[in-house]
Amino acid sequence: MTRWALRTATTSYQVRLALDGAWAELAYWGPAVEETLVPGPLEYAGPTPYSTAADVAACEYAPFGVRHFAQLDLIAEREGGVRGTLWRYSGDDLADKDGTTELRLRFADASQRLTATLCYRVSRDHDVVERWAEITNEADTPLRLERSRSAAFTMPTPGGARLHYLHGRWAQEFQTGQVELRHGRFTLENRLGVTGLAHSPWLAVQPLDEPDGPTWSTALAWSGSWAIDADADSAEGVTRVSLGRLPVESAIELAPGETFTSPPACGLYSPDGLAGAARAWHAYQRRLRRDVRLPVVYNSWFATEFRVRAEEQIELARKAAAIGVETFVVDDGWFVGRDDDRGGLGDWEPDPVKFPGGFDRFVAQVRELGLGFGLWVEPEGVSPRSRLYAEHPDWVYQVPGRPMTTIRNQYVLNLGRADAAAWAHAALDRLLSRYDISYLKWDMNRPMTERGAGADLDGRHVANYYAILEALRRDHPGVVVEGCAAGGGRADLATVARCDVLWPSDNTGPLDRLVVQHGFLQAFAPHLMSSWVTDDPGFFATSPRSRDFRYVTAMAGVLGIGADISAWDQERLDEAARWIGLYRSVRDVVQLGEVHRHGDPRGPFYAVEYTRDDTVVLLSWRTGHARGSATHVSRPPRVRPRGVDPAARYRRRDDDSRHSGAALAAAGLAPLPDDTTDASVVILDRV
């Protein structure tokens, strides 16, 4: 068999073999078709002057040696031997089980003694094509992999491509960016050793001449250093996106008989533009999700920072319980030596000075309030002042004889070491076993420097990060895990598969937060988007907004409270209780529903709509000033809900009015009828 047709929920992905078996190429990727397309839309006509066939074909995975000039996915070199691979197809395996198809295409280079398997996994439950590569060293000498990407995806972009990406920095994550690319390369590169705040390993590609129509989107499931290259050639009419790990410290070296398995690179097609691509990513991430209820949390960070004191925390917990919070999370500052950001990391013991009655007693008091209990940890953080560092100075990344860089006054634990990883796992396991903990926030606050030399440092660190998360999840299935890295620095599909929810940004300033959330929802589902209501003006004092605005913003994902509620009067507490009650009544719709974003939060009006079963929830915001007096004629912004069934009738919960789905879809509704209001929630139930 030399052609393979894979089916996702709504798309087809067709691959065929080049005539001499030197590569597999993409024949078609788009809406589902029954027949095998011959010729496919990516096939080229005409000669290849000054080039080779492999350099212009839509190669699924291109080793240097098969390709010579164009974008490469593999560069392999044997010491003292040939640099480059000239492999031939050697067979396939196709397995279908429970609606999931796995295809493996095997290639072998007899002279370089390298074999490779290009792997594909698809399911009828979503539209994502998961791809990865397995490279094996078949000789008895080492093999150097200078580049070993996961996969490449080729898209037809006749007049050039519009690339959409997510960029940012601390407190400004998930900003949406776009660039028009007709010729040449656009690269996103991350060398931080952790997924990163500066870019997400995510990219969407659209043909320039079809604005927001057909959209291909790709993402890498990796939490270390990575690279994504998009090479466009409008003359040849394609864009090729290669994704994979970025070995920063050294090439990856394969010992005799060893296999390198790349992380999965995922791709999907949507005919419905960026919005359709977002919905397809959300649907996929819902499949990765564990069936756990995400509680409304109270998190103490913004209220008390490092000044954790049992008495004050219990006071916060009491008020939190009274307003309907479900889990109380003590953030940073609860462990010995942690009075500021200069100490403590590594010594994961509750500080007896801060919990004079004992930590058990403290946890029991929180639990007696009917709350779940959560703790913040940063397992990879090591303070120079910690006992851990004094006992194991060799466990942190360092280059002997050179100064060690501190960022946020800390070093990074070399989690790639088996002993350090076993210690980190045991420390976390002990905490979760010893105390009645139902929520864990795993943070990571600095990128890596001075990692030294050694085989695949990045790979070993990330593999152990995954292994620890997996072991904790297996042994403590009732514990919800929140992923965080100085905000949204570890948002990637691999973390999504191992954490229940993510903290997208430390910025909770309402207008900024809305922009962060808009970008986050482009690549990630709302059940992953933790969001807290914090005090006004708070740390990030953006233009003042109403309190409603803050609640509605935090309701757009997984609502939490992060304000100093000990200072709130009864009126504010009652207000919070009302909002939390409202959120709890619709959280399944918000977290698991189909998302339609209306407009852009950088414009004057923005809304996000969620539809699940018979309910539509519409959250709306006015981002300009609410004037409070009508001095001019104005017509309120209208939203046409996309999730309504035109044949059905709906009841609006707030005013009990009835509407036909047809009228809602055609004329829309005005969720912010007067300009004194800057945020609202409209809930429509099918009647």
**Residue 542 CA neighbour count, 13 Å, CB half:** 19
Residue closer to ligand DGJ (CB basis): 480 or 486: 486
Question: Which range of residues in 279-287, 387-395, 479-487, 654-662 is near ligand DGJ by CB under 6 A?
Answer: 479-487
Structure-token match 């790639």, residue found? 416
Closest distance to ligand DGJ from the beta carbon of 331 (Å): 5
Residue closer to ligand DGJ (CB basis): 250 or 409: 409
Question: Which range of residues in 252-260, 289-297, 481-489, 570-578 is near ligand DGJ by CB under 6 A?
Answer: 481-489
Q: Which amino acid is at 583?
A: Y
- The answer to whether residues 619 and 607 touch, using CB atoms and an 8 Å cutoff, is yes
Question: Which range of residues in 246-254, 484-492, 541-549, 651-659 is near ligand DGJ by CB under 6 A?
Answer: 484-492
CA terminus-to-terminus distance, the chain: 53
Residue closer to ligand DGJ (CB basis): 15 or 486: 486
Tell me, residue by residue from 361 to 380, as one string, x for binding to ligand DGJ by CB under 6 A and - for no binding. ---------------x----
Residue closer to ligand DGJ (CB basis): 229 or 332: 332
- The answer to whether residues 611 and 643 touch, using CB atoms and an 8 Å cutoff, is yes
Going by C-alpha positions, the residue among 389, 392, 412 that lies closest to residue 485 is 412
Closest distance to ligand DGJ from the beta carbon of 38 (Å): 52
Main-chain phi, psi angles of 135, to 5 degrees: -115, 125
Residue closer to ligand DGJ (CB basis): 503 or 606: 503
Q: Pick from 264, 267, 459, 487: which binds ligand DGJ (CB under 6 A)? A: 487
Q: Left, alpha or beta for 288 (phi > 0: left; psi -120 to 50: alpha)?
A: alpha
Closest distance to ligand DGJ from the beta carbon of 100 (Å): 36
Q: Pick from 486, 523, 590, 608: which binds ligand DGJ (CB under 6 A)? A: 486
Residue of closest CB approach to ligand DGJ: 332
506 catalytic? Reply is: yes
Q: Pick from 443, 456, 500, 678: which binds ligand DGJ (CB under 6 A)? A: 443
**Residue 361 CA neighbour count, 13 Å, CB half:** 8
How far is Cα 426 from Cα 471, in angstroms, rounded to an integer? 10
Burial class, 570, CB count within 10 angstroms (exposed 0-12 / middle 13-18 / buried 19+): exposed
Question: Which range of residues in 86-94, 250-258, 392-400, 482-490 is near ligand DGJ by CB under 6 A?
Answer: 482-490
Considering the candidates 231, 331, 506, 678, report the single residue annotated as catalytic.
506
How far is Cα 596 from Cα 660, in angstroms, rounded to an integer? 19
Which strands sit side by side in the sheet containing 24-31, from one edge to the other?
Answer: 3-7, 11-17, 24-31
Closest distance to ligand DGJ from the beta carbon of 303 (Å): 12
Question: Which range of residues in 142-150, 251-259, 480-488, 651-659 is near ligand DGJ by CB under 6 A?
Answer: 480-488
**Would you state the structure tokens that stand for residue 292, as one six-digit string?**
């756990």
How many residues contact ligand DGJ, by CB under 6 A?
A: 11
212 catalytic? Reply is: no
Name residues contacting ligand DGJ, limited to 23-82 (CB under 6 A): none
Going by C-alpha positions, the residue among 499, 550, 507, 492 that lies closest to residue 527 is 499
Q: Does 483 bind ligand DGJ (CB under 6 A)?
A: no
Residue closer to ligand DGJ (CB basis): 61 or 411: 411
In sequence order, what E strands does 522-645 have?
Answer: 530-533, 558-561, 594-599, 605-612, 615-622
Q: Pick from 109, 380, 506, 678: which binds ligand DGJ (CB under 6 A)? A: 506
Q: Pick from 107, 165, 348, 503: which binds ligand DGJ (CB under 6 A)? A: 503
How far is Cα 493 from Cα 333, in angstroms, rounded to an integer? 29
Instruction: Provide CB contacts within 8 A for 463, sequence distance 6+.
Output: 416
**Would you state the structure tokens that stand for residue 625, as one six-digit string?**
């000033």
Residue closer to ligand DGJ (CB basis): 487 or 637: 487
Considering the candidates 443, 492, 675, 678, report the single residue annotated as catalytic.
443
Q: Does 331 bind ligand DGJ (CB under 6 A)?
A: yes
Residue closer to ligand DGJ (CB basis): 238 or 297: 297
In sequence order, what E strands does 356-499 have?
Answer: 372-377, 381-382, 411-412, 439-442, 480-483
Residue closer to ligand DGJ (CB basis): 136 or 445: 445
What angle, 0 to 180 degrees and rounded to 10, lies between the N-to-C axes of helices 359-368 and 310-322?
10
Structure-token match 């923005």, residue found? 606
Q: Pick from 174, 301, 397, 439: which binds ligand DGJ (CB under 6 A)? A: 301
In whole angstroms, what separates CA 476 from the centre of its chain? 23
Binding site for ligand DGJ (CB under 6 A): 301, 331-332, 376, 443, 445, 484, 486-487, 503, 506
Residues tagged active-site: 443, 506
